[in-house]
Amino acid sequence: MELANIISDIGEELVAIDSSGVPFKHFKPGVGPYGEPQLVREIARRLDNRANYSRKIVTKRTPDLLIKGTWAIEFKIARPFGDNARQAKNWSVNLLHPYLGNTSLIGDCLKLAQLNIEERKAVAVIGYEHSPPQIELQPLIRSFEILAKEIAGLKLGKRNSSY
């Protein structure tokens, strides 16, 4: 099972969640307001209904999503705007703090690196942009890659994206 296919499947499920019209808590309908644990659980539930994932999906504290025997994936959300259409404060820190024990994506990479598991390891960013974007996410993703490689000393593989 290739990571590019998994990322594509996750992207399809995010679109399905977003277009379902079901609100999360008291927020407007769509995928945007979900918190990370709730969104990962919903993605896992939906993937588990697909034949090639059936009974292989587990949500955990670390990793967020385990596809038994293939991949361990940690997720972070990059959401520049809140449900109120105002720019969120400190939204980019979810990716950039380069410290073990921090809840950032770099911290998650460092945790994954310490895990002694058979599955390959990956991190995924679920980004929300307007169409057209009001705040481009590419500089944030690129900053993550630079910090992860040059400051945290992590070896990153090829970037995959969907939608």
Encoding tokens for residue 2?
């290739």
Residue 161 lies in a domain: no
Residue 57 lies in a domain: yes
The total of structural domains in the chain comes to 1
Question: What does the pLDDT look like over 5-36, one tens digit per residue?
Answer: 999 999 999 999 988 888 788 777 777 778 89
Residue 162 lies in a domain: no
Query: How far is it, in rounded angstroms, from Cα 30 to Cα 63?
Result: 25
**Residue 128: which of 83, 72, 89 has the closest Cα?**
83
Residue 163 lies in a domain: no
Q: Which domain range does residue 128 map to?
A: 3-151
Residue 135 lies in a domain: yes
Residue 157 lies in a domain: no
Question: What does the pLDDT look like over 57-74, one tens digit per residue?
Answer: 999 999 999 999 999 999
Residue 42 lies in a domain: yes
Residue 160 lies in a domain: no
CA angle, 116 as apex, 113 and 117 as ends, to 5°? Answer: 105
